[in-house]
Amino acid sequence: MKLTIGSRGSKLALWQANWVRQQLESAGRQIEIRIIKTTGDKLEVSLTQSGTKGLFIKEIEEALLAAEVDLAVHSLKDLPTDQPEGLYVAAVPEREDPRDVFISNNGASLASLPAGARIGTSSLRRQTQLRRLRQDIEAVPMRGNIDTRLNKLARGDCHALVMAAAGIHRLGFDSHITKYFSEDEICPAVGQGALAIEIRRDDERARAAVMPLDHVATHQAVRAERTALRGLGGGCQLPIAAHASPAHGGLRLMGVVASPDGARLVRASAEGRSEKPEDLGARVADELLRQGAREILDSMPRL
């Protein structure tokens, strides 16, 4: 049986697709990868300026719905909570490290950088939480592959970078990491570090192939995170963070919403049963809204 994976063409996306291919091939499947260029790959403005959900997803999902590919491998944090009818996430493999990392030249700490230091990141979520740690930093839009961003840092385009640990680990750039941010310092993006394997709902052949790759604990955790995100009405371009982790035999979920200047931040956490992650996500979203998250999100510029 031959299956085709739809993937973006970036180094990280292809690492992810090839990892899934290797798992499926080891189970006796025949797999090929089809590279699909997405809107996000063609984008020239920053992600926060685009105002569009699913920038790295849309064309791949269209190919999946048209049966041009049999499954899609996404970074789960890129996947909108409202998926097209007929598609669903059949498997979420075990998550990589979900934290964000700080990378600077010569191992300089965030505290030791000069006043007005330029920090490279295109994530509004990271920018807002960074400003809680250093109010004077200047966020510099920084897109491109991981090695491209590391080269920009090396040539002095910025003083430091903040990126997801998962991509750094997967591509073998661990030695560049200066510091791992704790969840209390910078709460990760919803689904950060996790992969989503998306298929058509009516494709039993693909479902049977990918189900063994599903890691139940990770899938439950990201369901809690995505429910919180849905409850806040947000997407990856808004300063919303949520991370679920094992706690006392269940799940603990932390959620954060911050204003663009970092002046206002609301935080909520709760614990719940692993088997009911949506209940936990809804509780945390409700608590964030009670603390004023809606006012923060409504104050964001509409693009």
Q: Tell me which of 70, 78, 100, 203 is the catalytic residue.
A: 78
217 φ/ψ angles, rounded to the nearest 5 degrees: -65, -40
CA 261 to chain centre: 22
Residue 122, by phi and psi: left (phi above 0), alpha (psi -120 to 50) or beta?
alpha
What gap in Å lies between CA 287 and CA 257, rounded to an integer? 11
Strand 195-200 and strand 71-75: the pairing is antiparallel
Say whether 261 is catalytic.
no
Please work out, in degrees rounded to the nearest 5, the angle formed at the alpha carbon of residue 215 by the alpha carbons of 209 and 217.
Answer: 155
Tokens of residue 38, six digits: 């997405």
Alpha helices in 66-164 (DSSP H): 124-133, 146-154
C-alpha to C-alpha distances, 143 to 166, 241, 290, nearest whole angstrom = 16, 20, 34
Query: Which residues are the active-site residues?
Result: 78
